[in-house]
Amino acid sequence: MLVGSINTSNFFFSFATLFALSKARNGAMIALQEKMILSPEMLWAGTSIMLLAGGLGGLITIASSKKAATFFTQEKTKIISISTILFMTTLVGVLNGAPGLLALAFSTALGLFVAATKVKRTTCMASLIVPALFFYVFILI
């Protein structure tokens, strides 16, 4: 629920930034910027819709989580986790080949290392973001 709340607030602040500065912070805002005219009416309508959707989403999450908690046993969760890992690894291999599998292996090793050493995950994200940033910066130059 916390992740959903953070994503909702991130989208809301991106929306507010789009109207305040006419600058898009993510792909969804770029799409909105291209498709609509930025006006005070659109700001109010968008804010109202986001608040309504966020509130309803929260209530639905609370109601469905109680039912899901009784459905998912420990063994079902283990099967789902293993299936997800296999599916994602296969998908990365098919779509990205060896470079994608190498990035997946590095990211997985980093995630396991961070969990084992009890370091905050956000602290180690730079080891993934900085090389990707340099890669795309040098492509654009």
Q: Identify whether the C-beta of residue 62 lies closer than 8 Å to the C-beta of residue 5.
A: no
pLDDT at 1: 63
**Predicted TM-score (pTM) above 0.75:** no
Give pLDDT < 70 ranges for the chain. Answer: 1-2, 139-141
pLDDT at 124: 74
pLDDT at 20: 75
